Structure 1
Amino acid sequence: MTTDVFQIELRKAERSRIQEVDFNHLPFGKHFSDHMFVADFIDGEWQNQMIVPFENFTLSPALSSLHYGQSIFEGMKAYKNEAGEVLMFRPHANMERMNESARRMCMATIPEEVFMGGLEALLRVDADWVPSTPDSSLYIRPYMFATDASLGVAPSKTYRFCIFTCPVGAYYTNPPKLKVETEYIRSAPGGVGYAKCAGNYAGSLYPTMMAQQQGYDQLIWTDAREHKYIEESGTMNIMFMIDGKLVTPATSDSILKGVTRDTILQIARSWGVTVEERLVSVDEVISGIETGRLTEAFGAGTAVVVSPYSLIGYNGKDHMLPEFAPEDSFAVRVKTYLTDLRTGKIADEFGFVQKL
């Protein structure tokens, strides 16, 4: 069958797996919803738009994305309000960023009717998978990869775009411990750091693993030239409260333009909080912790939402971050506000929430 609006073929799963999931205990990224959306870019146009059961792909061993890394993705979330309606949070911002990544990686861009049409059709089919338990959401993973089956270093002429979803709980159960990375780099000026491409994450795995072996949860990445300035953290953008101001590294071609980051900055400004997007040195942060000028450090991202840090390790020394009461914390206040906004508990004065 097809929908009249988007001409998307629907092939439903024979049996739902939803009864196998304990929605009160949702590990991140382990349970996948019944269906996924797929579309193929062939002969210069998007075609074969389908909602199909979540299942394995059959791929050629010569698939160009496996050899040359043309692979990009996004992360976004959907929620339910008290009436049981499905709410999407800033999906157009993710679509725009995905197309920015596609242009940098010489890949086909995705029209709004394909991205949003596929997303909305998929969420309608799997609406029951959107959880309503506290601290839970439906994580949405749009991604695209090259599908030419040939060798030779050149952009692929064909691509597959896919969206699948999974119900998730909190990403971190405890405030993470971070280590400032001063040897390895995540990205460099002129590179692909601002693109959400798979290779950025592959390159981060080894230094992150070494930090985890030392007792840390994630890294704070620094600039490639001097390791002097903070750029972002492993799974999130990074923010600080210094002298009562919200301070965050300015985005560049080596820093991901986070949707949650932008959301928090807009909210902070609406609250009258002074926001500074600028260079942030490691020395400023460490000195701020030691003198008490820095009162908060936290990560911001789709998966983690807002995640206060417990400590920052630098040059062999751990610097403990202040413990604070929720009512005194910008991070907790903005996380609560975001949660209420995304679940429809408060009015959306920004136009961020889109009802399915």
Structure 2
Amino acid sequence: MIFFKYNFFQLFILIFSQYTFCQDIQKPKTYLEYGLNAYYGALLKHRPDQETIYFPGAFGFEANIQKYTDGRNNWERFYNFPKVGCAVMYFNYKMPNELGKAFSVVPYMDFTLSKTGKRKFRIKTGFGAVYSTKTHELLTNEENSAISSKVSIAVTLDFQYDFRISDHFSMNANVGFRHYSNGRLKAPNNGINYLIGGMGVKYIPHPIPNENFYLGYPNRSFDKKVYFNVMGATAWRHVRPLEDGHHNTYIFSVYVSKMVGPISNLLLGIDGFKYHTESMRQEYLNRMIAPEANNLDGKRAGFTVGHELMFGKLAFVTQIGIYFYLPVQFDLPYYQRVGFRYYMFKNAFLNTTLKAYTSKADMLEFGLGFKI
């Protein structure tokens, strides 16, 4: 089962990276650029005894490769021809005994927000995987309550000021944010959050043609039909560091969806959850409360509203929900979801989303859905 869950996650990362970086590989000419960045970082606290923001002297490096899009896919035109790429990152927290170092691989999209002459203001966001050299160990590294899994999810966000110094080189200044979490696949999981600032350089071996490279304006037609959706998903939760194994949670969702624009899809429906009895028991113990045998009902249900931002077959999903059936309340009465869907076919999709209570992860959901 553990083999399945990690390989499902790796499969989704592979699909995401192949989609973003290689979807137009059949084109006769691919224009690439290569980048190197150096960062200095400030960590956000993951323990009660730490400052809100602290500066241990953390630093990192990034190497990336990215491809220009030309509008061959309609969604590229809507987003002003973003670049798609993949970054390999190294980060040293300068806390060798507690946090160690991190190595990550992150596919991303790079969007132009504004352009004036040789100057561009850009935003880059990515989703990938990170390997941590130090994790929580009850006997040898109890202070690390941030990360307990060697492999976790990496989410990145960067704002970049780019200045072209020649046809083949540009310099950039960056500020950004990094978040690493295992989605409660293993406890504890406060997550690592840090801010970065730095400088970088890009090399463009073959500058794009000044004329006739970008392919026209977007097609603004879209499907206005209302669809009925059904999705089944599962998750594995780890509540307390002392417990062995994981507890299954099952999710069943029904909702309607309607496109309200060429890249915008609204969702409205109901979620049903079934948490394992042992998971409920461990939640009591985690709060140092004796479990009540007659109050281990793991069923929950909630109304949900959400949105899909479309990138061709890939969708970025955001949802909020509020419980209308919650017999046992350990957390907030409302929840959020954020993640991705990949439409394998027009009416079938893979789903991976993180369900959370504000900043506290509840579970990482893996599912399969259909719409009719």
Under TM normalisation by the shorter chain, which class is it?
Answer: under 0.3
The normalised TM-score by structure 2 is 0.25
Higher relative contact order (CA 8 A, sep 6+): 1
Kindly name which structure, 1 or 2, has the bigger radius of gyration based on alpha carbons. 2
More strand, by proportion: 2
